[in-house]
Amino acid sequence: MLPGSLRFDQRLLTCSVGRWKIFEPDYLDSAGPQIPTYPPLNIQIKGYNFDILESFQSYIHNLAENMGVDVEDAWATPARSYKVATYHEGGTRVKAEYTLHLYERNVQVTNLRSVDAPILLDIVRTALPEGVQLSLHEHSLAHYEERYIPDPFIEGLRKELAQDEEKREALKADKEASAAARAARKQAEILKSLT
């Protein structure tokens, strides 16, 4: 031992730690506060540049998964085409015509916790490329149906089924009306024969 150095007793350390131990029941840690979650949400992006939109959809998908948010589905909807015309200054004569294609991509997230939503949406909004529109909405059946290209044959069959159903309802209503009229005539004849 060196002169002037302090001597450290190991027994004092173990005794002091043992005396100050705090008891906490297990149920305090197990319950924890319940964090509410959102229903399935669609992060929808729209833009005229296909490549940028595809890349940004991939970015959102990876960001959500890296944050621990469940990505249920990601899809593209058919492009919408618009014809745009420019006119000569002060006239009605067309100067040039353009065809613009509006592309749309969706990323559906589920079990998004209320504490994670502001962070995810703030990052997505901050990284939003120029010319891309962002919207967030709750998932509905209309959004699911919108992703498919309509088939004229199936649409024709649906129209025929709807027309047949209307005819069937009309025939049923006519039969009920004629049965009610017959019952009323029969009732009137019975009342006439009794008097």
Is the separation of the CB atoms in 111 and 37 below 8 Å? yes
Residue 32: count other Cβ atoms within 10 Å of its Cβ: 7
Higher-pLDDT residue of 142, 165: 165
What does the pLDDT average to over 160-172? 92
Please, what are the domains in the chain?
Answer: 35-153 (3.30.70.600)
Q: Answer yes or no: is pLDDT of 117 > 80.
A: yes
Strand partners, 104: 46, 77
Tens of pLDDT, residue by residue over 11-55, are 555 544 456 678 777 776 666 678 899 999 999 999 999 999 999
Would you state the structure tokens that stand for residue 23, as one six-digit string? 């008891």
Helix (H, G, I), strand (E, B) or coil at 167: helix
Amino acid identity of residue 8, one-letter, is F
Would you state the structure tokens that stand for residue 86, as one six-digit string? 């420019």
Tens of pLDDT, residue by residue over 121-157, are 999 999 999 999 999 999 888 877 777 777 788 888 8
Q: End-to-end alpha-carbon separation of the chain, Å?
A: 136
Confidence of residue 4 (pLDDT cuts 50, 70, 90): low
> What pLDDT does residue 56 have?
96
Strand partners, 131: none
> What pLDDT does residue 96 have?
93
